Amino acid sequence: MKIKVFISFSILLFCVFIFSQCSETGKEKVETKKSDFGGFESQVKWGEHLVTIGGCNDCHTPKKMTPQGPVPDESLLLSGHSAQMPKIEIDRKEIESKGLAVTQDLTEWIGPWGVSYSANLTPDETGIGNWQESNFITAVREGKYKGMKNARTLLPPMPWEMFKSMSDDEIKAIFAYLKSIKPVKNLVPAVLPPVSANQTPAETDKK
């Protein structure tokens, strides 16, 4: 009888040990999975965090005016400079030679490089809807327009020279997040070259 009790108790202890090991293994898998995404529950959540702390909304999300000043318009999240917004009425030649000018929502910039507009980063076809992950990596790493290696360099104020220091996993997480947000149809205007000494702004804008 004692032998049977001893055997039963041994089996019970063995089962408890196996269960505890399985629980620890499961816990380790969860922790490992979260650590793969910067401590966040998913790649998309990590990407959202990186976009937020990276200040991407500062330029790529149109603003709406409130009593506290301009705030991001969540309905147009990361959709870039609105194609419907009128151009800044300003002496471009003077501004380009002395400094810079920007709209109050920070989506249109004028400087020595000409005029640049914040890109549409939503997954619409007018944004990055047709982009592959490799295009996004090229855009961030090499500062290439639309992520094409033979394209022009991205213009200010896009700080790709700093963002290129992000890890591959961080860039991929940001891309995954951008692909998950609401698509917004908005064809951002083409950039304008700087006004030369022999041209007027009107003549340049026709090119």
Give the C-alpha distances (Å, rounded to integers) separating 13 from 1, 7, 26.
19, 10, 20
Given a cut of 60, is residue 158 above it in pLDDT? yes
Give the C-alpha distances (Å, rounded to integers) separating 153 from 33, 113, 135, 157.
36, 11, 14, 12
What residue segments make up the domains of the chain, in order of their start?
Answer: 48-205
* pLDDT recorded at residue 28: 53
Helix 168-180 and helix 133-142: axis angle, to 10°?
A: 120
Band of pLDDT at residue 34, cut at 50, 70 and 90: low
